[in-house]
Amino acid sequence: MFKPAIHLLARSVAIAAILSIASAPVVAGTATADKAAAEEKARDYFSNVELVDQNGQRLKFYDEVLKDNIVVISFIFTNCQSACPLMTRNLTMIRDMLGEDERRSIQFISISIDPLRDTPSAMKEFARKHDADIEGWLWLTGQPDDVNYITKRLGSYTDDPEMHTTTLLAANVPNAHWTKIEPNVPPNGVVARLRMLAEENATP
Amino acid sequence: MQPRDLRDGAVAADTFTRQAAAAPLTCLLALAGIVCLYPAATTAAADLTEAEERGKYIYETGRSRSRRVINADLGGGEAPTPGYVLPCINCHGADGRGAEDYVGIAPLNVNWYALASTGLHSHAVRSHRPFDELTLARAIIFGLDPDDNKMEKAMPRYDMAQEDVQDLIAYLKVMDSQSDPAISSSTIRVGTVLPTEGRHTALGQAIRQTIEAVFDEVNAKGGVNDRELQLAVGGWNDDGNPQIWAARDLVNKEPVAALVSPYVPNYDAELEALATEKRLPVVGPYTVLQPDGDEDEDNHFTFYLLAGLELQARALVEAAVARVTPGETGLAIVYPRVRFFDELAAAAADQADALGFASVTEEVFELNEFPAESTVLNLQGKDTQAVLFLGNAAELSQFARRAAEAGWQPLLLSPGLLAERNVFELPESFDGRVLLSYASLPTDYSPEGAADFELLHEKYGFDYSYSIAQVNAYLAARVLVEGIERAGRNLTRQQLLEALEGLDDFHPGLAPALSFGEDRRIGSVGAHIVPVDLVEDRFTEPVRWIVPPLEQ
């Protein structure tokens, strides 16, 4: 099967290290052990720092947000006047283009990069404004230290929210396959990319 | 019209319903060619003059009560559009604050406080002086800003009679009182932010109880200018979420005209920022940290009551001069690595430099890891005869003990609220060598203030375990009530802000006199400096009142 090129995240050498470990050829028979080891590695890297979703639920980042999932991650702040609403609208379009089963299997995640101002209710309002306060879409905020830790691990940290990245991250987490999707990729291109990531799971 | 944001959604919907209900009548009258009066103000808060009322009608409908024609010219050369197709409210919103718009057109805030605010007004492609009545009239009619720049195309030019323009401007001047959902004709709602769950609940309860007691007493006498005071509470829990979220959610969900005695430990700077962002007066945050205090323009909305740690630290340095000769000794500043403490150490160091101390040494230690022995060792050799100590009481005690063992008795300067506990257990060799600072002492209480507080205490069953927080809440509530009263019946946030600024030598009962001003946001900037008698274990005379000189 066609294996898409692995896009390393800019500014994140450590993720590159994980990718190379996890995508090393797996010897039959030790696959389960290796998978567990890879998972442990990923948990160490991404951590189980707790973030808070739009309903006030605290979620361990690796175990309760990432693990076992196909994810697409965006970075937003609710006071954003320009890119975030557009990006979010694109994401809702992308989500609409997916089939029902696909929607169930792909976890949408939007992480605040202005956590002190973005309370869970503010995130919920923002999501609702974009018809995106829905099952399968997590809007995450939290203590600034925690959120910054995660955004750094995802290579998307910024001091100044106005300068934040509009790049999306998409990943097949179990396969430790992370890709970066530039903002100029049209929605159907993103859909194709997500489908490729999702199908990886189907192959042994 | 798009609601300005979802916070206003509920208000907008409410307004809409009332208008819709009145619509058939309005339309029938209009069909009959009769001048129809717009249904009486939607959420009328303050009483409007006739001119303001006519102006409001123009703003909301694009029509003149006097039946004079109002036309909107979009500048494209086509025939003028009737004013009622493009009334001001469509773009600038019911509250005049403009709209958040994602497509690039951002209608400006047309409340008078914004139009006339001092300084250069900078927009995307033009900037100009503040508006006055004349230049605003010109802008409405000719589409030119005060510096003759053409305004954005999206803003029509309105062909309307001079009288109507005057009415409209009269309304813009007071519209923030009309549209402030926190202020109605019979109530004013203010907020506070407190712990309502978790370990600090009792403290939160004490603050809330005090504010409510003051409000109840005022309301029992008819309120302030016939408005009843209401308190909305934003509660936080010690569940690990930032406490400032409680303040944000309160302000976003429940309209409040001001915050009184909010308590958000560690988020003082964020609270200031929130106040500025929402143009929300904040009176008497319960804190000793004043991130921007009086220092810069960033803090325009937060009114601190008493001298915080920085002013106290500077007063202590000032007081040291009576005990040691600056030119012959160094001053050491010992403090934990905690947010803002570096800034207050720096302010104290500047003060020491200005006073001519031979040297200034800063010793920073990690929180809860105070190395008493090495600190003493470091400083003793440097001919340091004065130490400004900003650690806690236990750390001060360790420090003094180590210093005594080393035969070194520098003058110890410390804010009372950090060092007071167990201060009498310091080694006797430090007798007469310890000065504590207090922003306020019971000697500042007026007989009336003390009696009033005592009365509330009995009537409402105050628990005295949190008396510092309660006194703060009492003072904040008193100052706020005074501000609201002085702002008068036509209350707006801007007028409240100005009324608070206008407080001069105001005696709130349980504190030194407070004075604010255009550039002053800390009501009392002095500190009592109290010597400690370690032989008799008591505070001694003379207590000095020191007002640190203004920073350069």
User: How do residues B396-444 score in pLDDT, each as one tens digit?
Assistant: 999 999 999 999 999 999 999 999 888 999 999 999 999 999 999 999 9
CATH classification of the domain holding A132: 3.40.30.10
B244 chain-A contacts, CB cut-off 8 A: 116
- How far off is chain B from A50, nearest CA to CA, in Å? 10
- Determine, yes or no, domain membership for A6: no
**For residues B326-351, average pLDDT:** 94
- Determine, yes or no, domain membership for A4: no
Rounded Cα distance between B289 and B253, Å, is: 27
- Nearest CB to B248; choose among A52, A81, A119: A119
Q: Is the pLDDT of residue B76 over 80?
A: no
B124 chain-A contacts, CB cut-off 8 A: none
Which of the pair, B44 or B243, is modelled with greater confidence?
A: B243
Secondary element (H or E) of residue B290: none
- How far off is chain B from A102, nearest CA to CA, in Å? 30
Residue B429 in contact with residue B404, Cβ under 8 Å? yes
**For residues B508-533, average pLDDT:** 95
Pinpoint the alpha helices (H) of B293-421. Answer: 309-320, 341-355, 372-380, 393-405, 416-419
Contact A116 B249 (CB under 8 A): no
Domains and CATH numbers, chain B: 6-179 (no CATH), 187-306+444-521 (3.40.50.2300), 309-438+528-546 (3.40.50.2300)
- Nearest CB to B270; choose among A82, A116, A143: A116
- Determine, yes or no, domain membership for A196: yes
Pinpoint the alpha helices (H) of B369-464. Answer: 372-380, 393-405, 416-419, 447-460
Residue A119 in contact with residue A159, Cβ under 8 Å? no
Q: How many CB atoms lie within 10 A of CB B263?
A: 25
- Determine, yes or no, domain membership for A3: no
Rounded Cα distance between B243 and B287, Å, is: 14
DSSP letter at B3 equals -
pLDDT of residue B351: 94
- Determine, yes or no, domain membership for A170: yes
- How far off is chain B from A80, nearest CA to CA, in Å? 9
pLDDT of residue A31: 66
Q: Can you list the residues of chain A whose pLDDT is less than 50?
A: 1-28, 204
Mutate to test the interface with A, among B241, B249, B271 (most CBs of A within 10 A): B241
Rounded Cα distance between A153 and A65, Å, is: 14
One-letter-per-residue 3-state SS of A78-127: CCCCCHHHHHHHHHHHHHHHCCHHHHHHEEEEEEECCCCCCCHHHHHHHH
Q: How many CB atoms lie within 10 A of CB B146?
A: 17
Smallest CA-to-CA distance from B385 within B328, B431, B315 is with: B328
Q: What are phi and psi of B202, to 5 degrees?
A: -65, -40
Residue B218 in contact with residue B260, Cβ under 8 Å? no
A147 chain-B contacts, CB cut-off 8 A: none
Closest Cα in chain A to B253:
A121
Side-chain half-sphere CA neighbours of B242 within 13 A? 27
| CB contact burial B14-46 (16+ within 10 A = b; e otherwise) | ebeeeeeeeeeeeeeeeeeeeebebeebbbebb
Rounded Cα distance between B457 and B452, Å, is: 9
Question: At B378, is the pLDDT very low, low, confident or very high (cuts 50, 70, 90)?
Answer: very high
- Nearest CB to A122; choose among B106, B242, B248: B248
Contact A129 B6 (CB under 8 A): yes
Measure the CA angle with vertex B458, ends B452 and B459; round to 5°.
85
- Gyration radius from chain A CA atoms: 16
Contact A50 B240 (CB under 8 A): yes
Rounded Cα distance between A72 and A174, Å, is: 14
Q: What are phi and psi of B414, to 5 degrees?
A: -155, 140
Query: Does a cis peptide bond (omega within 30 degrees of 0) precede residue B542?
Result: yes
Residue B71 in contact with residue B158, Cβ under 8 Å? yes
- Nearest CB to B249; choose among A52, A82, A121: A121
- Give residue A23's identity as a one-letter amino acid code: S
- Nearest CB to A81; choose among B102, B241, B270: B102
For chains A and B, count residue pairs whose Cβ atoms are closer than 8 Å.
37
Contact B242 A121 (CB under 8 A): no
| CB contact burial B511-523 (16+ within 10 A = b; e otherwise) | bbebbbeeebbbb
Which of the pair, B109 or B6, is modelled with greater confidence?
A: B109
pLDDT of residue B5: 36
pLDDT of residue B122: 82
Q: How many CB atoms lie within 10 A of CB B224?
A: 23
Residue B81 in contact with residue B72, Cβ under 8 Å? yes
Q: pTM for the full model?
A: 0.76
- Determine, yes or no, domain membership for A155: yes
- Determine, yes or no, domain membership for A146: yes
Mutate to test the interface with A, among B102, B239, B339 (most CBs of A within 10 A): B102
Contact A122 B102 (CB under 8 A): no
Q: What are phi and psi of A27, to 5 degrees?
A: -80, 130
Smallest CA-to-CA distance from B475 within B342, B317, B306, B362 is with: B306
- Determine, yes or no, domain membership for A41: yes
Domains contained in chain A, number? 1
- Nearest CB to B241; choose among A52, A85, A122: A52
pLDDT of residue A164: 64
Domain that holds residue A166: 13-200
